[in-house]
Each structure stands twice: as C-alpha cells, then as structure tokens.
Amino acid sequence: MPSQQSSAAEKTGKTNRVSHQFQFDPASRLLLCRIEGVVTDESIREYYRDVRRYAEKIQPSAGIVDFTGVTSFRASAATIRDLANSPPPLKDPKVPRFIVAPTDHIFAMARMFELQGDTTRPLLQVVRTLRDAYALLDIRDPRLEPVGPAGDEQL
C-alpha cells in the first residue's frame, strides 16, 4: 500500500517541498506522521486536515508527529495558536500524543501549541527525538506500515 504524501509546493510547482507521510503500527495502535521539507501555514493546515481523517478511521491509541525532516519552519505563531484552539484530531483526551521537535525554533512553536491547547490535549508532550516518544510510550521496535490516502477504504 503506498504511503500518503501531500505537498502543497508540488501543487504550485514551487521547489520548496513539504510532505507528510503516515505510518501505523497495528500492535501498539500508534499513528506516526513524519513531516519533511519546508513547513508553511498552508502545509501545516493540510497536515492537520489529513491527520483528522486518519484518526477518525484508525482510532489510534497514541499519536506522534515527527518534525525531524523539516528543513525550514515558516508557519506563523497565529496559525499554530489557531490550530491549538481548534478541536484535536485525536478526540479522546486520554490518548497520548507527542510532537518530535529537534530544533529550538520548532520546539518553541510546539510548546506554544502544547500550552495553548492543554485543556483539550492534556497528554500532549513535546520531545526532542522519536526515541524519546517511543520510550515514554514504552514502545520497542514498532512495525510501522505505510498508510494509504486518508480517503482510502483500506484503512
């Protein structure tokens, strides 16, 4: 099954590309999204729409968004606050979720998101590495499988 890749830059023909790829570990029911490239207001909103569709279909027990592959983070603080104030994609507040933010700028934006949305995402944590998130979830050697487009009935 091909992995989901979305690229606002590809649609506009620009060379700065961003993509997000979803993977799922059936054993732990972990939904992981890796974001790569240049993150903009438009691309982060596109990711947020897509993760909502995946979460509704898969009903994961945990979620991680990994910004390790991001080359430039250009999303505005206003967009991050707006997303933090919107309903979370993982509706159950008891579902642990993590943001992997390896750089200082992304970490600061992720912490702002965490603090702004803490009433609806009480188990959200910002960490520096994917290994940190796995350790906090007590997941060892996840068997991540690519997830098809969010509209696929194969989910």
Identify the pLDDT of residue 3.
37
Please indicate, yes or no, if residue 2 is contained in any of the structural domains: no
Q: What is the CATH number of the domain that holds 117?
A: 3.30.750.24
Assess if residue 6 is contained within a domain.
no
Q: Which domain holds residue 104?
A: 17-141
Number of domains in the chain: 1
Contact 64, 97 (CB under 8 A): yes
Asked if residue 153 belongs to a domain, the reply is no
CA distance 127 to 117: 16
Q: Over the chain, what is the mean pLDDT?
A: 88
Task: Please give the pLDDT value at position 85.
Answer: 96
Q: What is the share, in percent, of the chain residues with pLDDT greater than 70?
A: 85
- CA separation (Å) from 148 to 10, 47, 57, 69, 110? 19, 14, 12, 20, 26
Q: What pTM value is reported for the model?
A: 0.85
Q: Is the pLDDT of residue 152 over 80?
A: no
For the cut 70, the answer to whether the pLDDT of residue 9 exceeds it is no
Asked if the structure places residue 60 within a domain, the reply is yes
Residue 150 lies in a domain: no
**Is 149 among the domain residues?**
no
